[in-house]
Chains A and B, each alone.
Chain A
Amino acid sequence: MSSIKPITMPKWGLAMDEGMLARWAVEEGAEIAPGQEIMDIETTKIANVFESPVGGILRKQVVSEGETVPVGALLGVVSEPDVPDGEVEAFVTEFLENFTPEETDDAGAPTPEMVETASGAIRRLKAGPDDGAAVILIHGFGADLNGWMFNQAELAAERQVHAIDLPGHGGSTKSVGDGAVATLAAAVTAYMDAAEINSAHLVGHSLGGAVATSIAAASPERVSALTLIAPAGFGSDVSQDFIEGFIGQSRARKLRPIIELLVADPSLVTADMVEEVLKFKRLDGVVAALRTIADANFDNGAQRVQVRDHLGNVSAPVQVIWGEDDRILAAGHADGLPDSVKVIRLAGAGHIPHMEKAADVNAAISALG
């Protein structure tokens, strides 16, 4: 029975304790490859395609479309073609008999913590083995550490992965100084000092990409590898509609089309996702912090922040990942980079490929270091 592999309900983010299987994308009996999109899953927070963690023949769809089941529940069974039906059935029976859903506040799961740094309080979520190589995930403008819900757990299998909230974001200090990339970069290095991380693979998305590049140029010894996902500071323009709409819209119905600019497929955006953004923006100090950061780095559709030239000072291996349908920072910003920089362009992804094409992005991060 060792070649029988379960496919179970994933845990996307801390708050998820159940999910709804919205659609099977493959029939029973079909051959599937690891990373292939095999179903759509919806939670209250997000809707997304689920990519198979394993390859083989889909022998059985245990859960049918429209059913809501707990995290870890058996959704389907994959095996080599020569495994008899009886063994598959026995596997399913045994799994269902032994399965107990995790408690919602499972004690073993990592939870965000506040870390006092020289740049103020930084919230972080740390996962993975203490002796693993350090990876720091740095989100973009207006996001927070929950944006890595499809990446952190997977990367943490072998690495020590720190997802942090930049100043002005999530649970971190709302004090952002001048809001410039250099100031945010200083906060990240202050976090590395406080967390006693000498050197890490920095993974930066959007504004976080500019922050990561800035650190790699200024303190090359602190950066072992650099993954930049649709980074800011590589081209001249940025979507003014997004920046101003994100800061200015306070009604969900007006904010939703702004959030939808982030993705190639708008159905990824749920009402709860929009509501989370609104709840964040209502916190004291957040809108002012976002305004300061936006004014420091963007100017009416142009990017003040420029870090492309810093790449010359970066000694660590660098890769750039961009969604071809990015409507915030155009994928063309990746053109003309030095040959030493690996550029990965992902079709069917917008500005947040680490959510839209998580398997591809995770594989690329793992491959770099």
Chain B
Amino acid sequence: MSNKSYRQAIAEALTQEMRRDHRVVIMGEDIAGGLGAPGEDDAWGGPLGVTKGLMAEFGRERVLDTPISESAFIGAAAGAAATGLRPVAELMFVDFMGVCFDQIFNQAAKFRYMFGGKAVTPMVVRTMYGAGFRAASQHSQCLYPLFTHIPGLKVALPSNAYEAKGLLTQAIRDDDPVIFFEHKAMYDMEMEVPDEPYAIAFGEANVTREGDDVTIIAFGRMVNLANEAADNLAKNGVTCTVVDPRTTSPLDRETILETAAETGRVVVVDEAHPRCSMASDIAGLVAQEAFGELKAPIKLVTAPHAPVPFSPALEDIYIPSVAKIEAAVTEIVEYGEKAAAE
């Protein structure tokens, strides 16, 4: 056990799974040296250095630099998965997924179903998401709700380094296509991560705080903000349960509904746009299945329905904040108190 960054945790999962299973290969833009890079064997390790060093250990046969053609290499990964490899493809920014919609939505996601269960597609697409990186509207989106919408895909959103290693290990061992979302503002976050390989099961939420007043359900990087808000609120006597669903597909409905019923007040924190989002999805779930338990309206803390601004000042306001989460919690706690007083 030692302190590792989110970046190191992801690299360690890739390394250990590539050692464990020779069928695991990785592919993507610049993940090794990049064609024409100085010193062909000096790994760049992708735009943020996550895969650095893998080519030195596993060679170019298993660490494949690809052309800037997502439609080609994501399709190649789907085909490789259907024919026996376990590829991990890196789609640099999730914003670029538009050019490989068909390969993911119509091909990889559908193979198991359309071949009557006779085909499996053990592919992983690692991709960066999220705002806060001053990368403007074409490199800062969340987009995980789009993938969550498609049956046949699994979607993982690791909220810290421990989660990242365990969920990526599970993703690689999983026989279905998994879209693995790495928040680009989290790569340097460190925590204790076991040196040994381990897998975290999909569809099992992590309850990171336990409280009596409000249940906060948060996704990916937002889990950390929700924890911070819960810790701040606890000092003033308002205690929150914080739920990290870990995967949006499959979704741990049981834990979400149980914890929502326990407190009767729900805040959903989602960095994605509010329409057709995980926030609206969870709100719909709770309203439908736990309406009778609710003491206050469900509150959503999300980005606005607007592109991510390039202006740093605007971008900072755009992203859900600890203060906004605290305000949402306080608002529905007071709603309950007002109702009781009347």
Interface positions of A (Cβ within 8 A of B): 250-253, 271, 279, 282-284
A250 adjacent to B197 (CB under 8 Å): no
B47 neighbours in A (Cβ, 8 Å) = none
Chain B residue nearest in CB terms to A174: B196
B199 neighbours in A (Cβ, 8 Å) = 282, 284
- CB < 8 Å: which of A252, A253, A279 contacts B194? A279
A283 adjacent to B194 (CB under 8 Å): yes
A283 adjacent to B197 (CB under 8 Å): yes
Q: Give CA–CA (A284, B198) in the complex, Å.
A: 5
Q: Give CA–CA (A279, B162) in the complex, Å.
A: 9
Q: Give CA–CA (A353, B194) in the complex, Å.
A: 29
B204 adjacent to A284 (CB under 8 Å): no
Tell me the minimal C-beta distance from A8 to chain B in angstroms.
26
B201 neighbours in A (Cβ, 8 Å) = 250
A284 adjacent to B196 (CB under 8 Å): yes
Q: Give CA–CA (A283, B198) in the complex, Å.
A: 4
6 contacts between A and B (CB under 8 A): A250-B204, A251-B204, A253-B258, A282-B199, A283-B196, A283-B197
Q: Give CA–CA (A283, B207) in the complex, Å.
A: 20
Interface string of B255-270 (1 = CB under 8 A from A): 1001000000000000
Tell me the minimal C-beta distance from A274 to chain B in angstroms.
10
Q: Give CA–CA (A152, B194) in the complex, Å.
A: 24
B137 proximal to A (CB < 8 A): no
Q: Give CA–CA (A252, B254) in the complex, Å.
A: 13
A283 neighbours in B (Cβ, 8 Å) = 194, 196-198
A284 neighbours in B (Cβ, 8 Å) = 196-199
Chain A residue nearest in CB terms to B197: A284
Q: A251-B205, A282-B198 are in contact. List 7 more A-B contacts (CB 8 A).
A: A251-B255, A253-B207, A279-B162, A282-B166, A284-B196, A284-B198, A284-B199
Interface positions of B (Cβ within 8 A of A): 162, 166, 194, 196-201, 204-207, 210, 255, 258
- Pick the 9 closest A-B CB pairs, nearest first: A282-B198, A284-B197, A283-B198, A283-B196, A251-B204, A250-B201, A252-B207, A250-B204, A282-B200
Chain A residue nearest in CB terms to B193: A279
Tell me the minimal C-beta distance from B252 to chain A in angstroms.
8
Tell me the minimal C-beta distance from B204 to chain A in angstroms.
6
Per DSSP, chain B at the interface is loop
Instruction: Report which residue of B166, B198, B201, B204 has the largest number of chain A beta carbons within 10 angstroms of its beta carbon.
Output: B198
Instruction: Report which residue of B196, B197, B201, B206 has the largest number of chain A beta carbons within 10 angstroms of its beta carbon.
Output: B196
A250 neighbours in B (Cβ, 8 Å) = 201, 204
Tell me the minimal C-beta distance from A174 to chain B in angstroms.
8
Q: Give CA–CA (A253, B215) in the complex, Å.
A: 15
Q: Give CA–CA (A279, B255) in the complex, Å.
A: 19
Tell me the minimal C-beta distance from A260 to chain B in angstroms.
14
A251 neighbours in B (Cβ, 8 Å) = 204-205, 255
Chain A residue nearest in CB terms to B204: A251
Tell me the minimal C-beta distance from B209 to chain A in angstroms.
8
A253 adjacent to B204 (CB under 8 Å): no
Tell me the minimal C-beta distance from A268 to chain B in angstroms.
16
A252 neighbours in B (Cβ, 8 Å) = 206-207
Tell me the minimal C-beta distance from B221 to chain A in angstroms.
20
Q: Give CA–CA (A74, B162) in the complex, Å.
A: 35
Tell me the minimal C-beta distance from B339 to chain A in angstroms.
28
Q: Give CA–CA (A185, B204) in the complex, Å.
A: 36
Q: Give CA–CA (A282, B201) in the complex, Å.
A: 9
B166 neighbours in A (Cβ, 8 Å) = 282
Tell me the minimal C-beta distance from A211 to chain B in angstroms.
23
Q: Give CA–CA (A74, B160) in the complex, Å.
A: 35
Tell me the minimal C-beta distance from A152 to chain B in angstroms.
18
B162 neighbours in A (Cβ, 8 Å) = 279
Chain A residue nearest in CB terms to B198: A282
Tell me the minimal C-beta distance from B3 to chain A in angstroms.
10
B204 neighbours in A (Cβ, 8 Å) = 250-251
A271 neighbours in B (Cβ, 8 Å) = 207, 210
Q: Give CA–CA (A251, B206) in the complex, Å.
A: 8
Tell me the minimal C-beta distance from A69 to chain B in angstroms.
17
Chain A residue nearest in CB terms to B254: A251
A279 adjacent to B198 (CB under 8 Å): yes
Tell me the minimal C-beta distance from B321 to chain A in angstroms.
25
